[in-house]
Structure formats: C-alpha cells, structure tokens
Amino acid sequence: MIDHELARQALQRALPMLEAGLRDHAVCGAGFMHVVVMHPGMRPGEVAFEDAILLEHALGDVAARDADYTAFARGKARLSWETGLDGTEVQTHHPHLLQPGDTLLTGGICLDGIVVGVSGAQPWFDEAFGLAIAAQIRAACKDRHAGWLQDGVIEVPTRGHEHTTPTRPVELIG
C-alpha cells in the first residue's frame, strides 16, 4: 500500500514543522537534518537495508553540516527497522538487542511498523519529527484505504499497478 509518492506527500505535510525546527537553535543547533523512511513491507533478513529505504530527504544547508547526519539518520532507521522498536526503547529497555555497529543515538522511531530515522536536531526532537512523519504516513494509508473501500475495491491492488484512489495532493498553507 505504501509507495514512494505516498511517503513523499506525507513528508510534505510534516515539513513545515521540521523547517521551523531548523530555524530554532534550541531544537536544531546544526541547522541541518536528514530523514530516512523505511518501507514497512520490506523486512530485515528478506532485503538489504539500503533496498528497504523508501525515502530520504535532507533539510538545511548541506555545506554547513558539522557531522554526517545522513549516516546518523540511517543508523537510527536501521536500528528501529531491525528491532521493530523506537531507538529510545532499545537503548533504555532492550540493550541486549544491540549488535556490533548499531548506533547508540536515539531518534529512530517505529510506529505500527512504520520506521523513520531523523538526525540533526536534539534527540527528543528527532523522535518527535520522526513520529510526526510516521503518523502522516499512517494517516495517508488510512486515507488510501478508505478511498479503496468507497470505490468498492475488494482487494489491495497489485504492486506495480496504478492505485484507483491515489492519496490526496498536499496543499501547504503559507
């Protein structure tokens, strides 16, 4: 059900909040963030991590980066994707799940199987931004599902075929 376009539109809905965070030095002192969204239909052990990345998005002035936020966001997404848990949950309650090479940074979230890793802001804001993006993806899926039901579709359309009811286009205010 989730495809790149649905994830992109969901991210577009959350971008005003992330962009405001970029301008607030208490939220994001670096002035740069990176977002990684994993495909929930692709599972660890079945596909490589890189193949399961559905969407990546960079925010801010890339030239001003003081660290590799892309690698950090990917590490956070990988940990949540592999464990099915938020990074904070793994770090505080399930450290026995950590494997060599896993990140010790928090900021990856897993909401009903929807995994998002964000890096660049304070870790608690990375989590909030990731959660907002995942919630937007979940809402867009529910919207698509409702459209299918309204249209009388009785099974999920086959992958690779156009959906009869695409998600509604994003209209940003401002």
Q: What is the pLDDT of residue 162?
A: 44
Q: What is the pLDDT of residue 89?
A: 97
Give the integer Cα–Cα distance in Å for 170 and 147: 16
pLDDT along the chain (174 residues), means of 10: 90 96 92 95 95 95 86 98 97 96 96 97 96 96 87 75 52 56
Q: What is the pLDDT of residue 169?
A: 60
Q: Which tokens is 103 given? A: 């990140």
* Segment 31-44, tens digit of pLDDT: 899 999 999 999 99
**Radius of gyration for the chain, computed over Cα atoms and rounded to the nearest angstrom:** 16
Half-sphere exposure of 157 (CA within 13 A, CB side): 19
- Measured between alpha carbons, how far apart are the two ends of the chain, in Å? 30
- At 60, phi and psi to the nearest 5? 95, -175
Q: What is the pLDDT of residue 29?
A: 86
* Segment 121-132, tens digit of pLDDT: 999 999 999 999
> Does this model's pTM top 0.85?
yes
